[in-house]
Amino acid sequence: MGRRKRKGQPVHGWLIVDKPSGMTSTAVVNSVKRLTDAAKAGHGGTLDPLATGILPIAFGEATKTMQYVVDGLKTYRFTLRWGAETDTDDADGTVVKTNDSRPDEAAVRAVLPDFTGEIEQVPPRYSAIKVDGQRAYDRARDGEEFELESRQVWVESLDLVDMSEPDHAVFEVSCGAGTYMRSLARDIARAVGAAGHIADLRRTRVGPFDEENSISLDELRSFGHSAAVLEHLLPVETALDDIPALALTDSEASRLRNGQTVSLLRKMDLNRIADFNDGDTVLAVGRGKPIALTRYAAGEVHPLRVLNL
């Protein structure tokens, strides 16, 4: 039986959407996919429905580079509301604990070093973490009692931006993959003897993508046709800015496209590989177009993901 042909057009690249509050990340992807009539699309890092901000959407061959975006540093700004802890750790949840404590700025700043660097974090009960094969949020909605294990996450930086209102504190965070802002807000509140939850959350950067690259969903919808939407598409290789590139000859590009290793051991090749180390991921480029993601080892590049552009 023949392979079913994927519906939609062969669109390749990245669209950086400024996600509105109240929508799931999947709903935003589906909406944009319809606007572009793209055959294949996926997002580079989930945002909670409450959250707004940068949601990179990969189309076609760009989905092969998605992991490099998901694994990159992300920047968030969130508002912590003092006085109540909720079952979801954000404003969408039900209050489960109240506390009259309103910490001062000095008390908050004193605990921030404890939440910087490699830290232990327990994810929110309402999260996509799997517990015995089932999503934690499904178990939580069913009223089940369960415990989530703590895990190590990386917080690059954590700054207190504003505490001009007694009931709120605003923070800016740069962090690695898998770090939950809801957990971070909850734990900061507990560390200063208070209760708290996220009242507002915005993601301002994901890997190489920031607000300057983004466009709102409303604006995309206003264009009315896919050609205008696709004018905002960024090239596939935009996600790979931090990865070294290797220019290939036509014959070398052909070998990689066929899944074959390319040897770079000739004397004339030494300058091309001078900055590479064994194990490096390298973007192979031919005639100005990305050919494949490769792994460099012992003077050879081995294809990891061939990009059919």
Tens of pLDDT along 139-190? Answer: 767 677 777 788 999 999 999 999 999 999 999 999 999 999 999 999 999 9
Instruction: For residue range 23-33, list pLDDT tens digits in order.
Output: 999 999 999 99
Task: Tell me whether strands 168-175 and 196-206 are parallel, antiparallel or unpaired.
Answer: unpaired
Instruction: Give CA–CA dist 141/124, Å, rounded.
Output: 13
pLDDT average, residue stretch 272-283? 88
Residue 48 annotated as catalytic: yes
pLDDT surpasses 50 at 226 = yes
Q: What are the residue ranges of CATH 2.30.130.10 in the chain?
A: 243-306
Q: What is the dihedral of CA 301, 308, 41, 242, to 10 degrees?
A: 30
Instruction: Give CA–CA dist 81/91, Å, rounded.
Output: 9
Question: What pLDDT shows up at residue 161?
Answer: 97
Please state which of the ranges 101-105, 182-186, 221-225 shows the lowest mean pLDDT: 221-225
Question: What pLDDT shows up at residue 5?
Answer: 59
For 119-158, b where at least 16 C-beta lie within 10 A, e where not — what string? bebbbbbbbebebeeeebeebbeeeeeeebeeeebebeeb
pLDDT average, residue stretch 48-63? 94
In the structure, what pLDDT confidence band is assigned to residue 1 with cuts at 50, 70 and 90? very low
Place of tokens 């220019």: 247
The answer to whether the CB of 293 falls within 8 A of the CB of 307 is yes
Catalytic residue among 48, 89, 90, 187: 48
pLDDT surpasses 50 at 205 = yes
Question: What pLDDT shows up at residue 3?
Answer: 54
pLDDT surpasses 70 at 6 = no
In the structure, what pLDDT confidence band is assigned to residue 2 with cuts at 50, 70 and 90? low
The two three-digit tokens of residue 69, written as one number: 């975006």
The answer to whether the CB of 293 falls within 8 A of the CB of 62 is no
Question: What pLDDT shows up at residue 136?
Answer: 74
> What are φ and ψ of residue 123, in 5° steps?
-65, 160
Q: Which fold has domain 74-206?
A: Pseudouridine synthase (3.30.2350)
Q: Is 297 exposed, middle or buried (0-12, 13-18, 19+ CB in 10 A)?
A: middle
pLDDT surpasses 50 at 235 = yes
Task: Give the single-character DSSP code of 170.
Answer: E
Q: Report percent pLDDT > 90 for the chain.
A: 68
Summary mean pLDDT of the chain: 90
Question: What pLDDT shows up at residue 99?
Answer: 93
- CA-nearest of 45, 42, 41 to 70 is 45
In the structure, what pLDDT confidence band is assigned to residue 277 with cuts at 50, 70 and 90? confident
Q: Which residues contact 274 (CB under 8 A, 6 or more apart)?
A: none
In the structure, what pLDDT confidence band is assigned to residue 9 with cuts at 50, 70 and 90? confident
| pTM, two decimal places | 0.89
Give CATH superfamily name and number for 13-72+208-239: Pseudouridine synthase (3.30.2350.10)
Q: Residue 111: which H helix or E strand, with range?
A: helix 105-111
In three-state secondary structure terms, 294 is strand
pLDDT average, residue stretch 222-227? 84
- CA-nearest of 20, 63, 1, 13 to 229 is 13
Q: Given CA atoms 27, 29, 31, 33 in this order, what sign does their dihedral have?
A: negative
* Highest CATH level, class, for 243-306: mainly beta
pLDDT surpasses 90 at 97 = yes
The answer to whether the CB of 247 falls within 8 A of the CB of 282 is no
Question: What pLDDT shows up at residue 142?
Answer: 67
pLDDT average, residue stretch 232-236? 94
pLDDT average, residue stretch 98-103? 94
pLDDT surpasses 60 at 38 = yes
Q: What are the residue ranges of CATH 3.30.2350.10 in the chain?
A: 13-72+208-239, 74-206
pLDDT surpasses 60 at 265 = yes
Task: Tell me whether strands 84-86 and 300-306 are parallel, antiparallel or unpaired.
Answer: unpaired
In the structure, what pLDDT confidence band is assigned to residue 44 with cuts at 50, 70 and 90? confident
The two three-digit tokens of residue 35, written as one number: 């606007």
Instruction: Give CA–CA dist 42/26, Å, rounded.
Output: 8
